[in-house]
Structure 1
């Protein structure tokens, strides 16, 4: 049996280091009990089918510890395998297992159960800010290993980080890695027997980092359903039919923007081709205009609005034409006077029109 007391400052990575140990045990098929709120899908994946995880109250009593039963499935068998021991992880022990509440009712019964946990096949991890917070009797009898957790992103890169900060004002720190130094015993000069490390990025979603521990937890001990039964067994099969349905659902979300973009694209090509036709027709009409066809036209009316070009009305017998029509045909109009208008075509042939009846 191994008992670990995981210590460290606030935000030092105590919980995530313990969750990494939980993940290792579950991947080996071992039993786990904890007062942490775990997310087994993020911890093991959707297909995990054999996970055994028990959730104990935030402040477990003796009855809760008795309810988790044995931690090792090989107990009572001819060959006992200690590597299959279960793992009991208790977080925030400083709030309910501290030295100030030494006369708490049931404290001695809990300590007695913890002393016999080895015979029930349990390894234990206590999570606390500092070793001295734990009850002295439990600390002296149970603290076999003490783990000191630290984070490397709190450390500035030597020399280079100082140099960059001097020029930019921004500190350059080491990548975020959680490290745990495992000491054998609680003495100051205890031997270092192991080092734990984890990146942690893949484990942040595996447990509730904002969990608040309460002395009045409303539930008893219960077991988490394996992720297979909650997130995989009744999944929608990814066949062609369902893929098309999913595609249709996502297309509905973007159907209006797609229709809007399609309308803009179609309009661009339609109006673009229409402009080309109009320009070609205009060029053809300009080249075919002969100013001599209007030599017998007379100016019958004239008007000039403020900030506008003069407007003429020309007439020949029953035929009437305006200056705007001549402009659209590609002719250049020169206003000489109210009774005289000069028209010029693209070939620079001109004709003067005057008033008359």
Structure 2
């Protein structure tokens, strides 16, 4: 996986350098420092990991003490790194590249191979939830430095308060789509993902797990924090563009969806990877639009975490017939139709959220962000 991520990052850099060569009057090599700064977290995290494993293998320190020392050292090094390497970034693509790499590095910052005997400590370490909160803190710090404000949750605007009926419809759709997206991993037929909820929930209730709950929360916080950063970067770049709302939603969704291409380097087929990117794109478009419309960061974290929790519970459930799953990821034209339907529904709701009276709500929220 690290090699795959490195290859993916290098491809992004090549594309970015070519873009800069056409976009800016100065030659791209004059801005190479910003790309170097964006990749510094990779070198830092590799050095920390090597040091940590060396200490574990070659010292007699108790592992909890070694882990504590490593965590303090890692944070001590990362905080000045943010100030020196990332805060000075000014250009659009280096910022996008930097926050993407930073999210990967922070995700691996405090994860250890040590298995705690205590169930709660094991769940916290295994889920990487502390890393997600660290990334959230780093994002708030960068937001204050880059845009002088890091408002994630906004007060409801007057226009938003007058649309309670639409908000209710949106809430019902969110709940239904989250459950449906999880059930398509479990059922063998499209109709079962719509109607057969009772049997599925009776299976889910038999297998509780704190680590799965924390893992879902971790995914919601870290991935939605990355989405928030991407949205802010794009909105700032195209602040005078008429279509900046659509550009922000599309670019932020594309970044997150295309990042799943690394799964191909992990042995996944090209066809399956392409379909996964396609489905993820639809969900990401929807979440970005929901955030811009509601202005509530906690809401998209909750949506993301709930859906991931359902998916995680199904995947680890021994009663789930996973041999029947995968029909929705098939490239067969007849079986691909349900996947296409899911994406189209997400896309339709995204369009509704970005148009009409909802658009005026989004514009009011953007004014509060700036």
Same fold (TM over 0.5): no
Which of the pair has more CA radius of gyration? 1
TM-score of the aligned structures, taking structure 2 as reference length:
0.25
TM-score of the aligned structures, taking structure 1 as reference length:
0.26
Bigger helix share: 2
